Every structure is written in structure tokens, then in C-alpha cells.
Structure 1
Amino acid sequence: MNNSGFTVRKAAVLGAGVMGAQIAAHLINANVETLLFELSAGEDPNANVVKAIENLKKQEPQPLSSTARGTFIQPANYDQNLELLGECDLVIEAIAERMDLKTGLYAKIAPYLGERTIFASNTSGLSINQLAQVFPETLRHRFCGIHFFNPPRYMHLVELIPCTTSDSAMLDDLEAFLVTSLGKGVVRAKDTPNFIANRIGVFSMLATMHHASEFGLGFDVVDALTGSLIGRPKSATFRTADLVGLDILAHVINTMREMLPDDPWHEYYAVPPWLQGLIGKGALGQKTKRGVYQKTGKDIHVLDIARNEYVLSAGKADPDIAELLKDKSPAGKLGALRASPHPQAQFLWAVFRDLFHYCAVHLEEIADNARDLDFAMRWGFGWTQGPFETWQAAGWGEISGWISEDIAAGKSMSNVSLPEWVHELGQSPAQAVNPDIQGVHRKPGSYAPSSKSFRLRSLLPVYRRQLFPDRLLSEEPQYGQTVFETQAVRMWSMPEKAEAGGRTEKGDDGIAILSFKSKMHTIGSDVLDGIQQAIDEAERNWRALIIWQTEPPFSAGANLKKATERLKNEEPPSALNVLAKKFKKTAQSAVLKAARKLNLADALMAGKLAEVEAMIAQFQQTSQALRYSMIPTVAAVDGLALGGGCEFVMHCDRAVATLESYIGLVEAGVGLLPAGGGCKELALRAAQKAKDGDPFPVLKNYFQSVATAQVSKSAEEAKELGYLRRADEIVMNRFELLYIAKALAVAMAEAGYRPPLRARRIPVAGATGIANIKGMLVNMHEGNFISDHDFLVGTKIASVMCGGELTPGSLVDEEWFLELERDAFIELLATEKTQARIEHTLKTGKPLRN
């Protein structure tokens, strides 16, 4: 619901192909009741739709936030169900990119649309005004284009394209729905062929192909150069073409050729012969398992157009060029590329030069302002920076001069001059954020050639929810007023007046925010100290505490490197007596036995392990403090929340997580178990859900997730795995996460928050539960599905989660489980194989099975 009263209670998607089915899936992810239409098929009119829905459950990456959600998509067909369209607030057409098919369908369904139904075409480049002409004149005000990028769940960009008769209020309503309910970044595009992102992105691919041929570079070499080395996705150029589909790429190129006859770059809008040849052979890319690349066994082969055959892919960037691209100075990087005689450097400079040239010439035609073009490329193609951002960062005036020199010398793909405004923006006006900044992005906004002014961000009410929206190169967010700051964390609050995307909002609500400063927001003793200090401060002076990171991820977990360094490098305190006080005799014996296996002196090893155990105890104390503090604690989660990060999420009073949050207890992957309260918390949740007092039926599923180090593929799946609670909130747009978390924290404080009572009578699965899980592990071990060490780790996890060798149903408190966690963690950490797993993971980023 928004201020206009518009809401999408029910939607329909017309067309159950790749895009249509995935758009329907994402609507279901957002809890929108959704109909999916397709042509009738044989005896079962809905057979085609049912098949498409089943395919959604098999695709990777998953279009559905949970495979179970596929059952909520309602199959429909055009012969029997058109009257259902009258119940829909939004209808999205997503059939084949053919004008005749689309207009024929429009004529058929138009009489069935409701009085307020918004009808939108998910076209990637056809004229919206031309499509609108088939509609009755009385309906055209509710028609527009809406271009999702593939895959719709994961790609942030949606281009919203009005026709000349589109109602402005309708467009505002639809934009608000797309932003908040579907979590999208909306860019309003002009009705030009292929709109913004595909127009620029496909030209960039064509320019790359052209210069690859000019400089004689193989496809795999080009991909090595045009991927992560220059801030683009790893799929780079030709792998991206395979992912998109070579036939679809050819269609977009041909659309540009047919629809843009007067374009200065028109001669390059042509499908290369080698590409047309692949399409003719049915080699369409990933969907046919053969395109520019082909996988044979474990080997990747790439098309060699000179030999017209596939060869083993081995192309790499020249080491000198790769080193050059590591330069953190954009100006130095592009300057070095232009100056270098190396073909790979000249190739990259040419690609950048012609991209900048093209964007400058076409900006006024295709987009309202430079911000929209840059965001379109970042959100739609996954570029780290948009073209204008890259240009501006490298020095607007100098790069403009170099481009003009190359145009005059006949080196560029087109001889059209740069627009005059480009040179005008090479000056450094007083209103720039910094006097040294030149270019299109400045404090007053981003440049719009049509009005020769700098445009602010959208002032639609929906954007007030984005306290810290995605920012451009020239924008430096001010993250509130510092309460305290250490080397590891910063506690802060929103100021009385806060800048929010160009708007001024009142912010003083008594809510404190804690952000980590460590790499990947990993957790060491310094972060633990910071959290406990923040809780103490919040209890004295604040209404609630939110843990939120200024950039994802939420937390990659405990800092294993620091933990292993303690084992290897730190001097021990007083050896055995420290350990004896902290462990039961059985645990002490196991630790010392493991230490002997490592050929280390008993006392030395024992002392170091005791230091690590002290950190584990500190971790548990911190988790418990989050749970039982006198103020509400809220975890605002985006991206990874692994290991200890997951444990913090589980122990905060509430969590608010973006849909794309990947949460899990992953310690088993390095031969350990969750010991920051994670095992305890799952045992407690299983007991709370237990029927007839037996927690085991629930606990065995939790055990499987922990023992296999399973990470959720969405926040929705995290609820199914037990990492999030049913009451935890899922947010679709990551830029609204803090806004929602603050609102929840305020509501909890206003409700007179009191911490939960400590659980003192938790029924355990006990010895019987351990035996049942152990039996399963024995079968897996005998079948060679798990190693000896996997068996040991699984057994330890089972023992802790089942509460130890107690009679089933015995009642224990939380501290019982926490002590079991500590003991088992140290026993495993002391083993040679666990240490080998940790070391291997730290070196390679991959798990070791030993």
C-alpha cells in the first residue's frame, strides 16, 4: 500500500517462457497472489504452465525463494481463464519479442481487464508507443513498458518505460510497488530501441567484439581482460553472451540495426558471421550447452574462429597488463592503458574510449540524466561503476581531450564529435562537491543534457524509506553521529537532521546502530568487546540497538585466522592450571591427547587452547547478552550471515533480513561446530516446537543443516532451516533494510520491551537421540559418503545438540548446552585434521575433506 491507496493484491503474468515464469516466481516471492498464463495444451489445458512451474524448482540460481513457493503460482490459460484478469491489479505480458504476437494478444485480453488494472509489457526493446496503439484508447493511460533483467529475482534493475498516454500517477504507483514490494531499482527510460541498459550494454559488447578482432585477441583472452579486472562480472563479454543466449543477443543487435538507421555507429549493428554461424548450428550458449564456450568433461573449450573449431580455453591477461589494472588510481590506470604499446592495453583503452563516446552522444536521447544511465549499467549488467562514473573518476577533462584526439585521428569507431556539454563539464565549478571534481555527477545532482541542469534523485515518497540509497561516485554518505568508535566497531545514531537521497528527514528516535569495521565483518575478540560495550551503552542511554553494516555482508563469521594464529604464535598463560579450571577432566584428557598427536608440549598446547576457549566463552557471553539485554536488539541482515554471524542473528530479539540473505552455521565445513550459542539455540527451538515433549523429530532436521554446513539460499529458506524465526521480517529491497529495522526497534521499545525469561527447563533428546543420529552417520561412513573425521565432527555435533548422554526428556538449562559447546569445540580444534581443514580453507577458500 502507498499514499495513493494503490496496492497489488493479485497479479497475472502472460507467457510461461523463461522470463514470464521467473517474473511470476518473483511475484510469489513477494507474497503477491499470481496467475501464470500460457497457451492451452492437449487434454490438460494447463500442461504447459504446470511444466514451466516444475522447471522453476530445478533451476539454478533458484528463481523461487523456496521451492515450496512454486505451488502458489496459479496455472491459467487463454481459452478458459481470461475472466480472471478482471481481478488483477497488475498484468505483465512476457511473451516472445514479436510485435505481431504481442499486439494480437493485447486485442484478445483487453476486454477482460479490470477498471484499474495496470497492463505492462516486459519487452526488452520494442516500442512502447507502437505497442500501445492496439489498446482501446480508453485503456492506454494504464499501459506502459516494464523491463525486468534476467534473472528477475537477482537482478536489481527494472526499466519503467511510459508511452505518451501513460498516466503519471499510475507510473508512480507502479514504481513504488516495484521498489518496495519487489525490491527493485527502477530507472525510467525513454521509448527508444532497447531502452538504456541493453542499448549501452549491447553496444559495449559489439565494441568489444570489434576491437578483439582488430587486435587479434581470442575470446577467452578478451573475457580475462573484460571481467573482474575492470570491475565487470566474471562472465565478462563472451561468457555473458552465452548466458544471455546467442539468439537473444542477435535479436537485440538486429533490433538496433533496423530501428536506428541514422545512428553514427549503425555500421557496427551487425551480427558477426561467426555468431550467426553458431546460431545456425543450434549452438545458442548455456541453454544448449554449446556456444562461444563448450564444456567437455571437466575441460572448457572456446571457439577459435580462425580454425573454426573449439580449442582448450587457456587465454589469460598478460601479467603486466593485469598488474597495471590493479592501479587504484582510475586516472593512472586509463592513462597507462592509452600510453602502453601492448595490444591488450590498446584494446582496453579502445573499448573504454568508444563506450564513453557512445554514452555521451546518446545520453540525451535515451535517458533523463547521467545517474539513470550509470545505475542502469550497474543494476542491469552488474558493473561496479557506470560508464560516466568511470570516466569522471579518471578525470573528466583529460579523458574528454583524449577521446577528441582519437576521433580526430580516425581511431574511434565513429567520427561524430563529442557533444559540447561534455567539454563544458570539464571545468570545475564552485558548486562541485570538490573543486577538483569535473563531470556529470555533482552535489546538485546528475547532469541532464535536455535541460542543461543537474537533476536531483526522485522525490517519490517510496524513496524516503531508503535512508542510505545506492550511491554514485561523487556521493559520500554521512553515517550519523558517532556514539563511540574502536578499531573494530562503530556505534552511532541517526542525527536530528539526516540527508536521505537528497531529502532531509528527522531522525532522532533513540535507536542506536552498531556497525563492524573488520574485513567481511568477521568476528574476533575486538568485535566481541565492541558489541558488549554497545549493549552496555544502549542499556544506559538508548531505546534499542540495531546491528547493521554499511555494506554487505552482515558477517562472514568468526575470524579463523586469528584463532589459528593463537594456536601457533601466542605465548601461553600458565599452561595446565588454566585449562584444568575451565574443563571437565574428560575434555582436558581429550585436549592433551590431541596435543600429543601434534607433537607439541602438553602444557604449551593446553595453554594456547585455553586462550581460544576464553574467546569462545566471550562469544557465548556476547550472544547471551544480545538475547537478555534490557533493550530490544535487532539484527539487520543483508548478504552472508555465516557461523558466528548467524549465531548473532539467532540471538537478537528480532531479525530483519533481505530476501537475498544467505544464512547458516558453517563450522562443520572446517571440522568444528557452532560454539557461540548456535547449537544451544537450535536445541532450545526444537524443544519449543516439540510435540509430546520430544524434541528429536525437529532436532534431527536442525542437526542435518549444521552437520552439512548448509547455508540458506534465501531468507525464506533460512526460516525453513531454523536460522530465522517465523516472526522475523523479510525485506525485499536492501536499501530499505535499516528503515524497517528502525521501525521494528521503535515498535518494540514503545510496547514496553522486556527481555525473555531464561530457559531453565529444556527437555533434551539425550542418549537415544545421539544413538539415532550416530546410526545414520555409521551408515554414511560405511558407504564412504563421509570420512573418519566427518564422522567425529558429526558425532560431536549430535552430542551437543542432544544435550549429552542424558536420559531423553531430562531437563537442563542453557548453560548446560553452552558448556557442551565449548568442550566439543576445543576438542575438535585440537585435532590435526581440523587444523588442516582450517588452514586449507584460509589458503584456498575451499573446504578440505580429510
Structure 2
Amino acid sequence: MSRFQVRKVAVLGAGVMGAQIAAHLVNVKVPVVLFDLPAKEGPKNGIVAKAIDGLKKLKPAPLGDVADAALIQQANYEEHLELLKDCDLIIEAIAERMDWKLDLYKKIAPFVSPNAIVASNTSGLSITKLAEVLPEELKPRFCGIHFFNPPRYMYLVELINTPTTRPEVIDQLESFVTSAVGKGVVRANDTPNFVANRVGIAGMMATMIEAEKFGLSVDLVDDLTGKKLGRASSGTFRTADVVGLDTMAHVMKTMQDNLQSDPFYSMYATPKVLATLIEKGALGQKSGGGFYKKVGKDIQRLDFATGEYVAGGKKADEIVARMLKKPAAERIKLLRESTNPQAQFLWSILRDSFHYVAVHLDTVADTAREIDFAMRWGFGSSQGPFELWQQAGWKQVAEWVKEDIAAGKTLSSAVLPAWVFEGPVADNGGVHSAAGSWSAAEGKFKARAELPVYQRQAFPESLFGEGAAEPLKAGTELFKNEEVRVWTLDGEVLIASITAKLHLISPTVTEGLLKAVEIAEAGYKGLVIWSPDDVFSAGANLEALMPVFMTKGAKGIAPEEKKLQDMMLRLRYANVPVVAAMRGLALGGGAELAVHCARRVAHMESYVGLVEVGVGLIPGGGGLTYIARRAAEMAAAGNANADIFMFLKDGFTTAATAKVATSALEARKNGFLLDSDVVVPNKDELLFVATAQAKAMFDSGYRAPLRAKFPVAGRSGIATIKGQLANMRDGGFISAHDFHLASLIADVVCGGAVEAGSLVDEEYLMALERKHFCSLLEHPKTQERIMGMLQTGKPVRN
């Protein structure tokens, strides 16, 4: 299959979704033009301009770098339709009105290039009906593409074909959305609300019905149906508020209008409380109130009986919370057999979800895989309903659901399909197997798609029952200790995976990484530091050093700090390229580990920063040394006589304020990533790209940088910074301890009490770091901050 080249994307509609889709395309460096109606007053692109300006203020931020808003090209339908001819993909994202969409398609059709794909971002309208108005030559290149909100952060994108969509068009779009846009694709049938919203909103409606039946309040339901149940922390009612109650009602109406023959149809009725809230204009978070309302600093919840807002905060009974910590089979059994109303409620909503997906599998999705991934990626569940059912014991749970249907306890009297009890699924103990996932429509297990884009993913996200290889047990193991595994997949590049909690860096991790470099230099093209979850490293393990500190004090910590710093330099000057494959948190020591590698390959959602001041310390693993060295390098690159201090200010501020980059793009602006580093949109391609980078560097004759001295800003730089800090302290903007910490940071990044321009090396600056780091360990204010963080997980301001 030839590669689908996307030179530019057009997004039609600058509303909430359209503007944010455009923003994410800019995040992943795809050129985009954003269209909307011409403004009635002022500049014709006024509507689009206002939407782009709004992107800069939205939270969570749709843009990885706010400055990239300027890269979104502005257009309107009156003046700029000719621009569509240069677009290879056109995404329509206007309001959910069939007539408006059809009118727009007629307007743009003459301007669509012969090979462009046109896709509608509708959340539930029939893609087949939308296609009917298109010219015959465009129908084979038309499909549905449903991003979830917010598009930058939600991993799920649903693709929906029509009877006239060419199969290769969907394949091309899936490849582009997966690799270039960084999403997880689920192919959905063209049924109302597709997969995720069909199953997810039905589940939320069932939860509301069961909550009323058991007399549970919204806050209690959210505590029960959030993290404790392995679902999104916002639970049910809070999720509804975030989504928007009017949006939920719209999805419900789609079900009400199009699913009259559905055996669960009575469940789709709009709850009276929801209708009342919408009538009052209480639409959830966007209107300031819904099921919850912020009153001062407190969050109050709606009382169903009175319609008033009252104090919230109810939590699950301890006995129920304990049940939810049990293994799946025991957990489900305990909930079903308990007389506790909260446990009975939980069994009821789980049973309802099993019942619903089994009855609808043959029409809603090609296989059970699509439903489980849709609920993971679109609704934040740790497991999809079929996965949980399979893990809890397929046949036993099926019998329990069957008994409840017969007893009239379920929301529908529809019987479970025959395939649940007999045949391949029953024999396998569930719908997911090594051969694939169950297709109820075709009556067989179907393997995953084998598009070339998926060959890049060594460890794609897997489902329970598939028997997929576990990353930390795969490949050939060369070395392992309690917190590091050193292994290889291909025999060419070595991989070091930190296995400690949050991948915190302890003496054991330091030892493991040193061993990895030694093995890599002896017979491999490079070393990649990678772990299969969303934490690169959350920093140094302070707890691991506590016994040493308690017995020997700061003097005992100094040798351990020296070992850590020496390990960082060992990585930097290794004879083979060391590549940091970063994803998620890279904080404190994690950021220091990354910047000492020869190259960084970072997932778009990487959060990088030197955060040590939060616990009353300064970076001690070479982070400040890196800031000083980079300032000297940038000054030299710009002008041999440039003032180093001008290049030092941003790095100092970043460390002194513990500023964390909220994307890989921002990390590049903050200096944690360089222009030569690579940003990868899809998390599952990170290891492939990092390994390829290591091989390419080695094959092109990689040599470690030469050890060299570099100039520093010296005592004059320190004096300038401390003068500004004194003003902030005296003005009450920072505390005396903050002033002390920032002064020590200034001392290191400026090179200590030397003349401006003096030449120093990394070991000299690291010795300064180590000296100040250890002195702070004896400081009572720092000890307060450390203990506060260890006990509460929150920084103490003192």
C-alpha cells in the first residue's frame, strides 16, 4: 500500500471540536487551515480568529506550545474555498445538524482535489446518509472520523466507513491517524453513536437508573464508579458535567430517535433530573453548575429530593472499598452476594454493562476488541467490559447475568446470545484469544489489523486474554537487578528499563544503568532507556537514601550523590549513543537522566522539569551543570563574544521556579529537548523510533562529545540574580528559604565565585551542586519540605 501523503489538512468549523482538532494537528506538525463562516462584522475571518485566540486560554491546553496558534491558517467559506484544492484530508466538524452538513458538502465538493479524503467528525449522525449528497466521484473517499474531546489528550479516534467507502481509504486514514496524529483507532459500524458513546453513554444512563433505585447520592456514586472501579477518576455524574449535560442529552436523543427497536430502548429515556437541569441552563462545568456546583471554595452536589445543592464528599463504605481491591473473580462474587446497597449497586451496573455489550456486539462493532478499546481510550476505563467479564470467569458471570434476567432484575428482558454459552467463546473462556477477538456477526475470532503502521509497534496496547508478550519479560535478558532490567529485542540495540515504582532513581538504579552502558559498549550499537508505561522517571528516590542520612547525615549522602553524577557523565560520554525514550513524567533526576543522553526521543505528552525546590533541595544529578553548559554552548553558537548571562536566565528561572514543561514541544523551548531530538506522536511507536535513532547514530560513525571546559557567568552573574531575588523576597513574593534555594542555584549555574568568562568543567560544577545539595539536607526548612512531601505528596511552602 502506498503511503498516504498529507501535505495539508482542512478543518471545516471553528467550534469547540474543530478548533481543538486544528490545534492538535499543529502540535504534530501537520499544516492545517481552519474554516468557518465569514463574520458579519469586521474582518471576514473574525470567527476563526476568535476561536484560535480562545485556544490559548483553554484548560487543559489544546496546544503543546501556545505560540503555535499562529501556525493555524485562517479561512472562510466565502473567500477561500480554493485552498481546499491543496488539502489531502478535509475534516468537517460543524454543528450536529444533518441539513447544515449536507449544504456544506455541496458547497465544497467542486474544490476537493481528486485524491483527497473527506471525513465528518460527527459524534453520531449516520455517515451513510451524509454520503448520499456527495458527487459519485467523492463517495469512495468519504467516511466518518470521530475525535474524542479534548482531541489532544483523548487517545481514541473512531473511523466509520459507508457502503461506498473504498477499503484502502480507511486503511490510509487509519495509518495517518495512528502514526502522524498519535491516536488509537477503533473502526466502528455506522450505527447510532458508533461504539464508545453508544456503550459509554448507555452505561452512564444505566448507572443513573440504578443509583436512583438504590437511593445513592451523586458524590457517592462518583466515588464508587471512579478509580475504585478502575474507571476515570471523575466517575459518572462528574463526567457528565465535564462533557456537558446538553451534549449528553443530544447523544441520548440520537438513541431515542434511532433505536426504537432496541431491547434496551426504555433505558434511553432522558432522566427527569437531567431534563430539569438543562431547562434551568445548568449544563455542567461550562455553565458553572450541573450535578455539582462550586460555591466559594467548596464543591456542592445536587440533592435529588430537594433540587438544591448541598455539601458533598460522601465516600464508599470501607467494606465495599475492600471488595473492589480483590481479584476480578472474587470481587464480582463478593459484590453480587453482599447485602450492602452500595455493593448491590456496583454488581447491578457491571451486570448491566455485560448484558448490554453481549446483546449489541453483532451490530455495534466488528469484534469485542473494538468495544473494549473504545471504553479504555474514550472513557478512561482500565479495562473494557468484555475484558473484566473474561477475567472474572466467563461462564460463571454469564450464568449470574442469565439468572438476573430471568428474575426480572435487569434493565432489559433480552436474553444473552447463544454464543455466550456454547461454541468457541465458551470453550475459550471469553471473547479475547491469541487467535483474535470474537466477531458475533461473523461467528469467529478475528485477528488484529496488519497494516504496516502497526509493524512499528513492538508492544501495542493489549487486552486480557490475548496472551500478548509482556515488555518486561520479552526479548533476551542480559542483566537484571531489583530495579533495572537490561535486555534486547533485536540483538543490535540494548534496552534498559527502570522497574522501580515511578521509576525513581536509587543507588540500585544507578548501578543498573552503569551496567547497561558497560554491556552496550561491549557489543551493541546503542542503548535505549525505555519503560512501557507513562513515566520515564519521577526523580530521585529520597526514601531509599533515608537510612544512610539517618545514620551518617549529609556526609553519608555525598558519596551517593557523587555516584549519581558520575553515572550521568558515564551516559554522556559513552562510546555508543544512549537514547532516552521519554513518555509522561521526567521530573528532577528523570529530567537530568534525559539531558545527559546523546539524544532524546519524546512522546508528545512528556512533562519535563527540575522540581527539586519543591522539597527544599536543588538539582543534584547534573541538572544545573547542564544549564550552565548549554548556556555556554548557545552563546558560542550565536557569537563568540556573546554575554553568557543572556542565555542563562531562562535556564536559571526554570530550575528556581520548578517549572515543568507541559508537552514535549514546551520542553524543547525550555531547553530540555534540543532541535536534534525527536518528538513522536504515538506512544506505542516510541521504542521503535528510539531504537532506529540509536542505530542511525551508530551507523553514521557516532563519537561521544569531547570533554571540554566552557565559560561561566561567574560572580557578576550571581550578583545580578541575587539582586533580583532580594527584591522578590523583600516584596513578599518568595520566602526566605526560597531566596536561599535560588541563591544556591545561581551559585552553581554561574560557576561560583570566579570571574565572568572563567573556564570550568562539568566535574567542577557538579562538585558545587553536590556541596549545596548536601548542605540543604541539614537545613530544617528543607527537612520540613521533604517530610511533608513524603507524608502528603504535596509541596510545603515555608
Distance, in Å, in 1 between the alignment partners of 2:276 and 2:532 is 48
Q: Cα distance 1:95–1:428, how it changes in 2: closer, same or farther (>3 A)?
A: closer
The answer to whether the 8 Å contact 1:660/1:713 transfers is yes
State the Cα distance separating 1:455 from its structure 2 match. Answer: 1.0
Distance, in Å, in 2 between the alignment partners of 1:309 and 1:371 is 42
* Residue 150 of structure 1 pairs with residue 149 of structure 2: yes
Distance, in Å, in 2 between the alignment partners of 1:271 and 1:538 is 62
Alignment match of 2:564 (pick from 619, 624, 629): 619
Distance, in Å, in 2 between the alignment partners of 1:361 and 1:766 is 73
Instruction: State the Cα deviation string for residues 591-625 of structure 1 (Å, max 9, x = none).
Output: xxxxxxxxxxxxxxxxx312211111011100000
State the Cα distance separating 1:277 from its structure 2 match. Answer: 1.1
Alignment match of 2:381 (pick from 380, 383, 393): 383
Partner of 1:545: 527
State the Cα distance separating 1:305 from its structure 2 match. Answer: 1.6
Distance, in Å, in 1 between the alignment partners of 2:3 and 2:341 is 59
Partner of 2:645: 696
Distance, in Å, in 1 between the alignment partners of 2:424 and 2:44 is 62
- Listed as ranges, the matches of 1:719-738 within 5 Å are 719-738=668-687
Which residue identity is paired with 1:744? Q
SS at match of 1:469: coil
Which residue identity is paired with 1:261? Q
Partner of 2:706: 757
Partner of 2:479: 484
**TM-score normalised by L of structure 2:** 0.98
Alignment match of 1:748 (pick from 677, 697, 701): 697
Partner of 2:607: 662
The answer to whether the 8 Å contact 2:159/2:188 transfers is yes
The answer to whether the 8 Å contact 1:265/1:414 transfers is yes
State the Cα distance separating 1:425 from its structure 2 match. Answer: 5.7
Distance, in Å, in 1 between the alignment partners of 2:196 and 2:401 is 22
Partner of 2:328: 330
Which residue identity is paired with 2:705? P
Distance, in Å, in 2 between the alignment partners of 1:559 and 1:425 is 52
Partner of 1:604: none
- Listed as ranges, the matches of 1:120-519 within 5 Å are 120-327=119-326, 329-424=327-422, 429=427, 438-474=429-465, 475-478=467-470, 479-494=474-489, 507-508=490-491, 510-519=492-501
SS at match of 1:551: coil
Structure 1 runs not aligned, ≥5 long = 433-437, 495-506, 573-607
* Residue 798 of structure 1 pairs with residue 739 of structure 2: no
Partner of 1:781: 729
Partner of 1:66: 65
Distance, in Å, in 2 between the alignment partners of 1:283 and 1:697 is 51
State the Cα distance separating 1:43 from its structure 2 match. Answer: 2.0
Distance, in Å, in 2 between the alignment partners of 1:705 and 1:60 is 21
SS at match of 1:512: strand
Instruction: State the Cα deviation string for residues 213-256 of structure 1 (Å, max 9, x = none).
Output: 10111111110100000001111100000100000000000100
Instruction: State the Cα deviation string for residues 444-485 of structure 1 (Å, max 9, x = none).
Output: 111111221111111011100111000111234242110111
Distance, in Å, in 1 between the alignment partners of 2:656 and 2:527 is 32
The answer to whether the 8 Å contact 1:141/1:165 transfers is yes
State the Cα distance separating 1:550 from its structure 2 match. Answer: 2.2
For these two proteins, the number of residue pairs brought into alignment is 789
* Residue 57 of structure 1 pairs with residue 56 of structure 2: yes
Partner of 2:574: 629
Moved more, 457-466 or 442-451: 442-451
* Residue 527 of structure 1 pairs with residue 509 of structure 2: yes
Q: Cα distance 1:734–1:253, how it changes in 2: closer, same or farther (>3 A)?
A: same
Instruction: State the Cα deviation string for residues 322-358 of structure 1 (Å, max 9, x = none).
Output: 121111x101111000001111111000000011000
SS at match of 2:583: strand
Distance, in Å, in 2 between the alignment partners of 1:715 and 1:324 is 40
Partner of 1:104: 103
Instruction: State the Cα deviation string for residues 373-395 of structure 1 (Å, max 9, x = none).
Output: 10011011110000000111110
The answer to whether the 8 Å contact 2:425/2:438 transfers is no
Partner of 1:649: 594
Partner of 2:714: 766
The answer to whether the 8 Å contact 1:516/1:527 transfers is yes
Distance, in Å, in 1 between the alignment partners of 2:397 and 2:255 is 28
Distance, in Å, in 2 between the alignment partners of 1:248 and 1:551 is 32
Distance, in Å, in 2 between the alignment partners of 1:262 and 1:428 is 28
Distance, in Å, in 2 between the alignment partners of 1:389 and 1:168 is 29
Distance, in Å, in 2 between the alignment partners of 1:661 and 1:427 is 40
Identity of aligned residues (%): 52
Structure 2 runs not aligned, ≥5 long = none
Distance, in Å, in 2 between the alignment partners of 1:425 and 1:526 is 51
Which residue identity is paired with 1:402? W
The answer to whether the 8 Å contact 1:687/1:693 transfers is no
Alignment match of 2:787 (pick from 800, 816, 839): 839
Partner of 2:540: 558
State the Cα distance separating 1:398 from its structure 2 match. Answer: 0.3
Q: Cα distance 1:256–1:461, how it changes in 2: closer, same or farther (>3 A)?
A: same
Instruction: State the Cα deviation string for residues 660-711 of structure 1 (Å, max 9, x = none).
Output: 0111111111111111111011111111111423211121111111011111
Distance, in Å, in 1 between the alignment partners of 2:212 and 2:10 is 45
The answer to whether the 8 Å contact 1:693/1:763 transfers is no
Distance, in Å, in 1 between the alignment partners of 2:182 and 2:442 is 30
Alignment match of 1:9 (pick from 3, 7, 10): 7
Instruction: State the Cα deviation string for residues 817-842 of structure 1 (Å, max 9, x = none).
Output: 11111111111111011111011001
Instruction: State the Cα deviation string for residues 78-126 of structure 1 (Å, max 9, x = none).
Output: 1111111111001100010111111111111111111111100000010
The answer to whether the 8 Å contact 1:396/1:426 transfers is no
The answer to whether the 8 Å contact 2:434/2:468 transfers is no
State the Cα distance separating 1:426 from its structure 2 match. Answer: 8.4
State the Cα distance separating 1:428 from its structure 2 match. Answer: 6.4
Alignment match of 2:30 (pick from 32, 43, 60): 32
State the Cα distance separating 1:759 from its structure 2 match. Answer: 2.1
Q: CA RMSD in A?
A: 1.1
SS at match of 1:723: coil
State the Cα distance separating 1:55 from its structure 2 match. Answer: 0.8
Distance, in Å, in 2 between the alignment partners of 1:713 and 1:698 is 22
**TM-score normalised by L of structure 1:** 0.92
The answer to whether the 8 Å contact 1:694/1:809 transfers is no
SS at match of 1:513: strand
Which residue identity is paired with 2:790? L
State the Cα distance separating 1:563 from its structure 2 match. Answer: 2.2
Distance, in Å, in 1 between the alignment partners of 2:405 and 2:426 is 24
State the Cα distance separating 1:427 from its structure 2 match. Answer: 6.9
SS at match of 1:554: strand
Distance, in Å, in 1 between the alignment partners of 2:423 and 2:596 is 52
The answer to whether the 8 Å contact 1:693/1:809 transfers is no
The answer to whether the 8 Å contact 1:157/1:379 transfers is yes
SS at match of 1:482: strand
SS at match of 1:638: strand
Instruction: State the Cα deviation string for residues 243-290 of structure 1 (Å, max 9, x = none).
Output: 000000000001001000100010111111111111111111111111
Displaced runs of 4 or more, over 3 A: 425-429
SS at match of 2:537: coil
